[in-house]
Amino acid sequence: MGYDEWKASRKERVDTFLCLFEEAMQKNRVGLKFLSGIIEENPDRVRIGHENLIIIGDLASYCLPLKELVGIFTNPYTIHGYGMPRVEIHPKWKWIRNHKNACIQSQSDQEKPATDSLASLVLALLDDKTLFLQEDQNPFRKSLIELYGFVPSPISESISEYCRGLGATFDLGAAEIEIPGTHGFVWYVGTCDPEVRSFTISSSYRGGPRRIHAEDTWDHNLFSSSDPEDLIEHLSLAPGSMIQTENWNRFLQSKRFTVSVASHFSPLSKLIGDPEFLVHLQDNYSDWDDDDSAEVEG
């Protein structure tokens, strides 16, 4: 390659490099028009406040800090972290100091301009009922449940629909989630006892009387999250999963819970009465002390 050819090639690379920036800016101009159209079409629900971009959804009210948003687009190299700022979540039409925050999960797309991503986020928050039900939106769902709890609220219907999708039933009047288990068990998860930090778990067998196994799952080191997805998933497989000895089991890590369930489930009672299996529990679960025997009531 001659010197003149090499110089021409270098000029071509510079032109291509600058062209890529120009294309990115043009895509962002298109995305900005998209965002502007959303604001114009929803003047009562999307507003520019003094410090925040404000979105009024069906379930809650949301804020995105303007300073951070503009900073990301002005000079992203100076912004620590990645992605959009966390969304402030407030009760619908009400602004509180102790609000919740959430990172809204979105599919990464390198071809998607930043302004288009912001517009898509605004649309998602306007349609927050749909967003609540999306499988990959655990942080958003958790924040809304922490904000309102399981008492009657704008998210009650969404919680019911969400639980149905997981094979459970949410009884709003009783503030309770009903989950069909295995071997004729039906599990009940209490959600609103003011003295309970997490959940209460009880069960019945083929329509029989209730029996409490965990007054507060927090104290059993079982489930501390406000999102019931994990709890529903595990209880739907119990108590059968508790006698599948080849796999680690979340419930077996609580001795009190296991012994309580075993009192009403003979296969588990026989299993934890086996000295060899008891050694297995002591080796794999810290709650099973070597000096304690696994006595099953009644």
* Same domain flag for 94 and 125: yes
99 in any annotated domain: yes
Is residue 297 exposed (0-12), middle (13-18) or buried (19+ Cβ within 10 Å)? exposed
Domain co-membership, 235 together with 137: no
Question: Which domain-ending residue is among 91, 124, 144?
Answer: 144
Residue 239 preceded by cis peptide, ω within 30: yes
What token pair was written down for 294? 């696994």
Q: Which domain holds residue 25?
A: 3-144
Residue where a domain stops, chosen among 144, 171, 206: 144
**Long-range contacts, 117-122 (Cβ 8 Å, 24+):** 117/31, 117/84, 118/31, 118/35, 118/69, 118/84, 119/31, 119/34, 119/35, 119/38, 121/64, 121/84, 121/87, 122/35, 122/38, 122/39, 122/46, 122/53, 122/55
Task: Examine the domain organization and report whether 138 and 166 are in the same domain.
Answer: no
Q: d(Cα 233, Cα 66) in Å, to the nearest integer?
A: 39
pLDDT at 145: 94
Query: Which residues, 6 or more positions from 24, have their beta carbon under 8 angstroms from its beta carbon?
Result: 113
Displacement of CA 41 from its chain's centroid (Å):
30
Q: Using the 3D structure, point to which of 144, 179, 204 is the last residue of a domain.
A: 144
Distances from the Cα of 219 to the Cα of 222, 256, 257, angstroms: 8, 10, 10
Does 90 reside within a domain?
Answer: yes
- 293 assigned to some structural domain: no
φ and ψ of 75, to 5 deg: -150, 85
Domain co-membership, 217 together with 128: no
Report if residue 292 sits inside a domain.
no
Give the separation between CA 298 and CA 295, rounded to whole angstroms: 10
In a domain, 89, yes or no: yes
**Pairing between strand 169-171 and 100-102?**
unpaired
Indicate whether 101 and 206 sit together in one domain. Answer: no
- Count structural domains, the chain: 2
Q: Are both 13 and 120 inside the same structural domain?
A: yes
Domain-embedded: residue 53: yes
Is 298 contained in some domain?
no
Q: How far apart, in whole angstroms, are the C-alpha atoms of residue 53 and residue 118?
A: 11
Q: What is the largest CA-CA distance in the chain?
A: 94
Residue 102 inside a domain? The answer is yes
Burial (CB < 10 A; 0-12, 13-18, 19+), residue 166, is middle
pLDDT in tens, the chain (298 residues): 566 666 667 777 777 877 877 777 787 788 889 899 999 999 999 999 999 999 999 999 999 999 888 877 766 665 655 567 889 999 988 889 999 999 886 665 566 777 888 899 999 999 999 999 998 899 999 999 999 999 999 999 999 999 999 999 999 999 999 999 999 999 999 998 888 888 999 999 988 999 999 999 888 878 766 778 888 999 999 999 999 878 888 899 999 999 999 999 999 999 999 999 999 899 888 888 755 555 555 4
- The pLDDT score that the predictor gives to residue 297 is 53
**86 and 198 part of one domain:** no
Residues 169 and 252 occupy one common structural domain: yes
Q: Do both 222 and 275 map to the same domain?
A: yes
Q: Are residues 9 and 124 in the same domain?
A: yes
Examine the domain organization and report whether 118 and 139 are in the same domain.
Answer: yes
Clarify whether residues 139 and 208 are in a common domain: no
Q: What is the 3-state secondary structure (H, E, C) of the chain?
A: CCHHHHHHHHHHHHHHHHHHHHHHHHHHHHHHHHHHHHHHHCCCCEEECCCEEEEECCCEEEEEEHHHHHHHHHCHHHCCCCCCCCEEEEECCCCCCCCEEECCCCCCCCCCCHHHHHHHHHHHHHCHHHHHHCCCCHHHHHHHHHHHCCCCCCCHHHHHHHHHHCCCEEECCCCEEEEECCCCEEEEEECCCCCCCCCEEEEEECCCCCEEEECCCCCCCCCCCCCCHHHHHHHCCCCHHHHCCCCCCCHHHCHHHHHHHHCCCHHHHHHHCCHHHHHHHHHHCCCCCCCCCCCCCC
